[in-house]
Amino acid sequence: MSQMRCGFVAVVGRPNVGKSTLINAVMGSKVSIVTAKPQTTRHRILAVHTTDAAQIIFVDTPGLHRKAGKAMNRMMNRTAVSALADADVVLFVTEAGRWNEEDGDVLRRLQMISAPVVAVLNKVDLVKPKEKLLELIAQTSARNEFAHILPISATKHDNLDVLMGLLPDYLPESPQLFPAGMHTDRSIEFQTTEIIREKLTLNLHQEVPYGLTVQIERFETGAERTTINAIIWVERDSQKGIVVGKGGSVLKRVGKAARLELKALLGRPVHLELWVKVKDNWADSDKDLQSLGYDSA
């Protein structure tokens, strides 16, 4: 009987290449929130995939980006880099056919680590004509000596079975680190803040989503329903009106969408109340970031 394999798979890349979408796809459920906007993922989130033969612990990370002017951006970069230190194997996710300087920045960081790196070319369903894919694989191979190069489409689930088949080979022989039924290391309260933030990001435009965060004030499980009170913190007074919307329209829309998803997640009715408050320039304050639950790694 072969020994159980268990280890950490860091999923890294520049913002918006589909890292969280990939993890959700292989997990078969939503572990990380996803929007079309960069910097949606701000935290290090573990997704635990367990089979009879292996426990693959995916580490979803914020996108590594150049412009790290604010404390939050620097924190996100540190979080992504620290995940590499513990990784048994790294998935370097890029967007097939759209290599840019930020991809090059990430690759230079990866060239300094000892863990094997698998190059994952995501969004291959968008590559036209299909013959171009061979050229893109050749270009990827010329950039670095990767342990493996794999074209996939996370949204279409193309080649995900191949990916899941090769990952255990890179993991050490080890007993499980987490219970078999556990899918993420994050609490339901954390997942709630992320769901609310996702709905805000989807309903807001321009720079506002980057200047807000969500904090749970009350999470109470009653006999018939769960009651949740949450504060949406923004950086400036001007953002408060945008988040609330005319006649409270945006906040109502966000609240309804979040409540429906939380009801499905918890399997019971949810009463959700949201307030919008201003905390001046919180995203550029290490102290505020810590008090709002951001990792300092």
Residue pointed to by tokens 């009106």: 241
Residue pointed to by tokens 């939503």: 30
Choose the most confident range, by mean pLDDT, from 5-19, 67-81, 201-215. Answer: 5-19
In the chain, where the domains are located: 5-170, 188-291
Three-state secondary structure readout of 160-204: HHHHHHHHHHHCCECCCCCCCCCCECCCHHHHHHHHHHHHHHHHC
**Which pLDDT tens digit goes with each residue over 82-99?**
888 889 999 999 999 999
104 class by beta-carbon count within 10 Å (0-12 exposed, 13-18 middle, 19+ buried): exposed
Report the pLDDT averaged over residues 133-148. 96
pLDDT at 80 over 90: no
pLDDT at 283 over 70: yes
- Going 149 to 31 to 75 to 177, the CA torsion angle's sign is negative
pLDDT at 297 over 60: no
Which pair of tokens denotes residue 192? Answer: 């709630």
Burial 198-222 (b: 16+ CB within 10 A, else e): bbbbbbbeeebbbbbbbbbeeeeee
CB-based contact 219:228 (threshold 8 Å): yes
Confidence class of residue 263 from pLDDT cuts 50, 70 and 90? very high
Residue pointed to by tokens 């924190």: 75
pLDDT of residue 211: 87
Q: Radius of gyration over alpha carbons of the chain, in Å?
A: 20
Residue 43's SS3 state is coil
Smallest CA-to-CA distance from 274 within 289, 288, 262 is with: 262
Beta bridge partners of residue 271, listed in sequence order: 227
Report the pLDDT averaged over residues 148-155. 97
**Which pLDDT tens digit goes with each residue over 188-221?**
999 999 999 999 999 997 767 788 999 999 999 9
pLDDT at 66 over 70: no
pLDDT at 294 over 70: yes
Query: For the ranges 31-35, 45-49, 157-161, 274-278, which has the lowest average pLDDT?
Result: 31-35
> In the sheet that 117-122 helps form, which strands lie side by side, from edge to edge?
45-50, 54-60, 5-12, 89-95, 117-122, 148-151
Superfamily (CATH) of domain 188-291: K homology (KH) domain (3.30.300.20)
CA 221 to chain CA centroid, nearest Å: 27
Confidence class of residue 78 from pLDDT cuts 50, 70 and 90? confident
d(CA 163, CA 148) in angstroms, rounded, equals: 10
Peptide bond into 179 cis (omega under 30): no
Report the pLDDT averaged over residues 55-79. 84
Pairing of strands 270-278, 226-234: parallel
| Class for the domain spanning 5-170 | alpha beta
Report the pLDDT averaged over residues 95-121. 95
Residue 116's SS3 state is coil
Query: For the ranges 26-30, 67-71, 257-261, 288-292, which has the lowest average pLDDT?
Result: 67-71
pLDDT at 248 over 50: yes
Confidence class of residue 1 from pLDDT cuts 50, 70 and 90? very low
Q: In what helix (H) or strand (E) does residue 10 lie, and over which residues does it extend?
A: strand 5-12
**Which pLDDT tens digit goes with each residue over 250-261?**
999 999 999 999
What share of the chain has pLDDT > 70, as a percent? 97
pLDDT of residue 37: 82
Smallest CA-to-CA distance from 70 within 291, 295, 232, 281 is with: 281
Smallest CA-to-CA distance from 235 within 217, 251, 214, 212 is with: 212
Higher pLDDT: 73 or 161? It is 161
Residue type, 163: L
